[in-house]
Amino acid sequence: MDIDRRVFIASLGGTTAVSLLSDEAKADALEEYMSARLNEAAAAQSAPAAQQFPSAAQLEAQIETRSTRRGVGNLFTARTGNVKRLDKLPSNPRLVDFFTMRFNNTSNHCLQSATKALRSGMSEEVVLACLLHDVVQEIIKVDHGWWGAQLFEPYISEKATFAIRYHQALRFYADPANGYEYPDLYRRIFGHDYRPEPYIESTYQMVRKHKWYGEARMVTVNDLYAFDTNAQVSLEPFVDIIGRNFKQPKEGLGYDNSPVAHMWRTIERPDAPL
């Protein structure tokens, strides 16, 4: 069990109070504190989901309490305070430039999931799909699997595109045999009683029978535990994989006249008025 030292000391009345305790009394206090935390954790686990997480209706009722919609991309809204001025990208921007200068809210999670895929020996296509799977949330969150696949489709393999597109639907369906359990995170953000819409259900039914199901499923598996606030991540281990698997246009992303060039320009210049 991880103990937050400051919280523990505060629970005893602060450092001065602790300094007055004998070593034996400190040990007893620590044991009592750990037992209490353990009981709390057990109670939280056995509590019905309805007590731990909001319902879909409660989340729906929050809509008019916000100034922006839940699906707005990270680049267009500040979590607190005002948005910040963005650094100018080089004139022929590459994927790595977007990673370091625009994917500021999603890169840590994506790098964590790609690192897990790399360490568990997955194919370069799966590693690349993990690396890219959520970065489109910088411009939009709704249906991010489809948006993300579209953003990358001209530059990566069909298989990696498939994995990005369909991780969105697969994440709602457990597959314990492949190491994927339905996460509490989704009970929290979608509601404990959320049921995926029919288009998600039918997409899932199609993908589970597809020859590339495994690739899309592995994106969800590496997605699950990639929210470690202490993780040290770097793009460096992925530079060669990007070089081999991402067709970087020589004009720069946003300037190659591809069908998705406008999406890259939007990420580059989210402060442009029109």
**Residue 183 or 214 having the CB closest to Fe ion:** 183
**Residue 157 or 168 having the CB closest to Fe ion:** 168
Residue 72 backbone phi and psi in degrees, to 5: -65, 140
Give the interface with Fe ion as residue ranges (CB under 5 A).
134, 223
**Residue 142 or 239 having the CB closest to Fe ion:** 142
CB of 224 to Fe ion, least distance (A): 9
**Residue 125 or 134 having the CB closest to Fe ion:** 134
CB of 227 to Fe ion, least distance (A): 8
**Beta bridge partner(s), residue 175:** 180
For 153-182, what is the HEC assignment?
CCCCCHHHHHHHHHHHHHCCCCEHHHCECC
CB of 138 to Fe ion, least distance (A): 13
**Residue 134 or 138 having the CB closest to Fe ion:** 134
CB of 221 to Fe ion, least distance (A): 11
CB of 148 to Fe ion, least distance (A): 8
**Residue 17 or 227 having the CB closest to Fe ion:** 227
CB of 253 to Fe ion, least distance (A): 21
